[in-house]
C-alpha cells in the first residue's frame, strides 16, 4: 500500500495481513484472552485481551485510514460505549453543547451526565451557525451530528470546528450518518470522531459496535485508557464481521444514496405525501451546505404522509418489503415513525417517518411504499 489510496480503495485494502507467499488475504479471527508475556509490559505490548488484541487491530487500522487519521480507530462494544468514552473527557460541572435533534440515546446520555455532575447543557440548532458559535463560548465540549438524526439538519462544520479549536472547546463529530466516504471531520478540524459501527460501516444489521477516531496522540491515549479501565470492549467475531462489512462500504453507500435520491424525487410529487426531507432536494434547507461540504447526501429520508401520525402508522403497518424496524444503514430498507418513542424530542414532527434506504431494486422499494401510502 502506498498510503495514498482514495477512500473507496482504502475500504478494500486497509487492515489486510502483510502480503507474503501463502499468507491469508483476510486477518484471522483471534480468540485469545491472554498473550504470552513476562516482566513489565512496554507501551503497546500485548498481555491481556481487555487492553488490546489482534482481533481489533485490522478493523481499527482500516477505519483510521478511512477517516484520514494518522492513527488507528479505537473500537468499542457499541456506539454508545464510544460516545461514553469521549464524554469521560469532560470534567464535572462543565458546559456541553449538543444538537437539539440528535440520536435519542446520546441525548439521554448527556441529560443523565449533566444532571449527575451538575453540568450545563446547551442544545443548539446545528444548522444555525451563529447560534452554535454563541453557545461555544465557555463550553468544554461540543458534540455535533451532521446530518442530524432524524431531522437531517446540516452544520457548517469547518467554521464551527475552527471556532471550537480557537476557543479551546473540544469537538466531537458523530459521523455515523455521513460515513467517512461522505465527510472526514478530522480534516475539517474535529478533535474526535465517533461512529455507531452498527450502521453503515458494518452495514448488515448483524452486529452492534462502535468506534472513536482521535486527531492526536494525547486524546487517542485517553480514549484507549478509558476503554481499558471501563471495559466496554468489542468481541472478536463482531469486529471481524464489521471489517467484512466495511469492504463493501463504497458500493453500499453509492447504491443506497442513488436509491434514496430517486425515491425522494418521486415522493416529493406524491399526492399522499405532505413533506419530504433530504439534503439532495434543491429546496431542502441543507442542500447548499451539503453540496459544498459533503460527498453525497446520504440515504436517510424524512417523509411526512398526508393524514398525520395515524397515517404514518398505517404506512408502517402496510409495507411488505420495507422493514418496520429501528436502526439504519443496513443493506435492507427500513422505516419507522420516530415519535413512536416517548423519548423522541418533541420538536420532531409526530408524523415523521424516518426511512433508511437500502440497496434493493429501487422500483420494488417504490412499488411497496406507494402501495403502503395508498393503504
Ligand atoms: C445508532 C447510533 C448511535 C448509537 O450507536 P449504538 O451502536 O446503537 O450504540 C449513535 N449515534 C448515531 C447517529 C446512531 O445512529
Task: Tell me if 41 is assigned to some domain.
Answer: yes
Task: Tell me if 1 is assigned to some domain.
Answer: no
Give the pLDDT of residue 67.
98
Distance 358 CA to ligand 1 centre (A): 18
- 160 and 273, same domain (yes or no): no
Write the burial class of residue 358 (CB in 10 Å: 0-12 exposed, 13-18 middle, 19+ buried). Answer: buried
- Section 252-264 average pLDDT: 97
Provide the Cα torsion 322, 324, 325, 328; round to 10°: 30
The alpha carbons of the chain give a radius of gyration, in whole angstroms, of 21
Residue nearest to atom 7 of ligand 1 (CA): 79
Determine whether 174 is an active site residue.
Answer: yes
- 79 and 165, same domain (yes or no): yes
3 pLDDT higher than 60? no
- Write down which residue in 246, 271, 291 finishes a domain: 246
- Section 10-22 average pLDDT: 97
Give the pLDDT of residue 4.
65
Give the pLDDT of residue 27.
97
- 302 and 190, same domain (yes or no): no
Q: Is the dihedral of CA 365, 366, 367, 371 positive or negative?
A: positive
- 136 and 195, same domain (yes or no): yes
- Write down which residue in 246, 270, 299 finishes a domain: 246
In which region does residue 189 sit, left (phi positive, over 0), alpha (psi from -120 to 50) or beta (all else)? left
CATH number of the domain encompassing residue 366: 3.90.1150.10
Q: What percent of the chain has pLDDT over 70?
A: 99
Task: Tell me if 331 is assigned to some domain.
Answer: yes
The catalytic position among 50, 165, 266, 371 is 50
Residue nearest to atom 4 of ligand 1 (CA): 79
Distance 316 CA to ligand 1 centre (A): 22
Which triple of cell numbers denotes residue 274? 405532505
Q: How far is CA 13 from CA 18, 63, 120, 193, 195, in A?
A: 11, 11, 44, 21, 20
pLDDT band at 302 (very low <50, low <70, confident <90, very high): very high
Determine whether 137 is an active site residue.
Answer: no
What range defines the domain where residue 354 resides?
250-374
- 235 and 262, same domain (yes or no): no
Helix, strand, coil share (%) of the chain residues, nearest 5: 40, 15, 45
Output the pTM of the full model.
Answer: 0.97
- 202 and 111, same domain (yes or no): yes
Give the chain's mean pLDDT: 97
Q: Which of 77, 105, 238 to mutate to test the pocket of ligand 1 (most atoms within 8 A of CB)?
A: 105
Distance 43 CA to ligand 1 centre (A): 31
- 60 and 93, same domain (yes or no): yes
> What residue ranges line ligand 1, CB within 6 angstroms?
78-80, 103, 105-106, 145, 149, 174, 176-177, 196, 198-199, 208, 210
Contact assessment for residue 101 and residue 153, using Cβ atoms and an 8 Å cutoff: yes
Distance 209 CA to ligand 1 centre (A): 9
Atom of ligand 1 nearest to the CA of 145: 13
- 206 and 272, same domain (yes or no): no
Task: Tell me if 55 is assigned to some domain.
Answer: yes
Determine whether 48 is an active site residue.
Answer: no
Q: How far is CA 353 from CA 125, 286, 373, in A?
A: 20, 18, 12
Strands 323-324 and 334-337: parallel
Determine whether 103 is an active site residue.
Answer: yes
Minimum mean pLDDT range among 2-6, 271-275, 285-289, 362-366:
2-6
- Section 150-170 average pLDDT: 98
Q: Is the dihedral of CA 289, 295, 297, 298 positive or negative?
A: negative
Residue nearest to atom 9 of ligand 1 (CA): 79
Give the pLDDT of residue 44.
83
- Section 335-352 average pLDDT: 95
- 151 and 62, same domain (yes or no): yes
Distance 177 CA to ligand 1 centre (A): 9
Task: Tell me if 370 is assigned to some domain.
Answer: yes
CATH number of the domain encompassing residue 136: 3.40.640.10
- Write down which residue in 222, 246, 270 finishes a domain: 246
- Section 280-301 average pLDDT: 96
d(CA 274, CA 252): 29
d(CA 94, CA 87): 11
- Section 169-178 average pLDDT: 98
Residue nearest to atom 1 of ligand 1 (CA): 196
Give the pLDDT of residue 241.
98
What's the number of domains the chain is made of? 2
- Per-residue pLDDT of 65-89, as tens digits, reads 999 999 999 999 999 999 999 999 9
E-state strands within 39-94: 74-76
Atom of ligand 1 nearest to the CA of 177: 13
d(CA 20, CA 23): 5
Spatial CB neighbours of 57, under 8 Å, sequence gap ≥ 6: 15, 27, 72
Distance 108 CA to ligand 1 centre (A): 12
- 208 and 152, same domain (yes or no): yes
6 pLDDT higher than 50? yes
Task: Tell me if 2 is assigned to some domain.
Answer: no
- 204 and 292, same domain (yes or no): no
1 pLDDT higher than 50? no
Task: Tell me if 126 is assigned to some domain.
Answer: yes
Contact assessment for residue 252 and residue 331, using Cβ atoms and an 8 Å cutoff: yes
Contact assessment for residue 277 and residue 338, using Cβ atoms and an 8 Å cutoff: no
- 201 and 236, same domain (yes or no): yes
Contact assessment for residue 15 and residue 58, using Cβ atoms and an 8 Å cutoff: yes
> Residue 194 forms beta bridges with which residues?
174, 212
Amino acid at each position: 500500500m502506498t498510503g495514498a489510496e482514495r477512500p473507496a480503495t482504502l475500504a478494500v485494502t486497509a487492515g489486510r495481513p502483510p502480503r507474503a507467499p501463502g499468507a491469508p488475504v483476510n486477518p484471522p479471527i483471534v480468540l485469545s484472552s491472554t498473550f504470552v508475556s513476562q516482566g513489565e509490559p512496554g507501551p503497546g505490548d500485548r498481555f491481556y485481551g481487555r487492553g488490546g488484541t489482534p482481533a481489533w487491530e485490522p478493523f481499527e487500522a482500516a477505519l483510521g485510514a478511512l477517516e484520514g487519521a494518522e492513527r488507528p480507530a479505537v473500537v468499542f462494544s457499541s456506539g454508545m460505549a464510544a460516545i461514553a468514552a469521549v464524554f469521560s473527557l469532560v470534567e464535572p460541572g462543565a458546559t456541553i453543547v449538543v444538537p437539539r435533534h440528535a440520536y435519542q440515546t446520546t441525548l439521554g446520555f448527556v441529560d443523565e451526565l449533566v444532571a449527575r455532575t451538575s453540568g450545563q447543557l446547551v442544545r443548539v440548532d446545528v444548522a444555525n451557525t451563529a447560534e452554535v458559535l454563541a453557545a461555544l463560548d465557555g463550553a468544554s465540549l461540543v458534540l455535533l451530528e451532521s446530518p442530524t438524526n432524524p431531522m437531517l439538519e446540516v452544520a457548517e462544520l469547518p467554521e464551527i470546528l475552527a471556532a471550537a479549536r480557537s476557543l479551546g472547546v473540544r469537538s466531537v463529530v458523530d459521523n455515523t450518518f455521513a460515513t467517512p466516504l461522505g465527510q472526514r471531520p478530522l480534516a475539517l478540524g474535529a478533535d474526535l470522531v465517533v461512529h455507531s459501527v452498527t450502521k453503515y460501516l458494518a452495514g448488515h444489521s448483524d452486529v452492534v459496535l462502535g468506534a472513536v477516531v482521535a486527531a492526536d496522540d494525547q486524546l487517542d491515549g485517553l480514549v484507549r485508557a478509558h476503554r481499558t479501565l471501563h471495559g466496554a470492549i468489542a468481541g472478536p467475531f463482531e469486529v471481524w464481521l464489521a471489517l467484512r462489512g466495511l469492504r463493501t462500504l463504497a458500493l453500499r453507500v453509492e447504491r443506497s444514496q442513488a436509491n434514496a435520491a430517486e425515491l425522494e424525487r418521486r415522493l416529493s410529487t406524491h399526492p399522499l405525501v405532505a413533506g419530504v426531507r433530504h439534503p439532495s432536494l434543491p429546496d431542502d434547507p441543507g442542500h447548499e451546505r451539503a453540496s459544498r461540504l459533503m460527498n453525497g447526501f446520504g440515504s436517510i429520508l424524512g417523509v411526512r404522509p398526508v393524514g398525520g401520525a395515524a397515517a404514518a402508522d398505517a404506512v408502517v403497518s402496510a409495507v411488505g418489503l420495507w422493514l418496520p424496524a429501528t436502526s439504519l444503514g443496513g443493506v435492507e430498507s427500513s422505516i419507522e415513525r420516530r415519535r413512536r418513542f416517548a423519548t423522541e424530542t418533541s420538536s420532531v414532527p409526530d408524523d415523521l417517518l424516518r426511512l433508511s434506504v437500502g440497496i434493493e431494486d429501487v422500483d420494488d422499494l417504490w412499488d411497496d411504499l406507494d402501495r403502503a401510502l395508498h393503504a
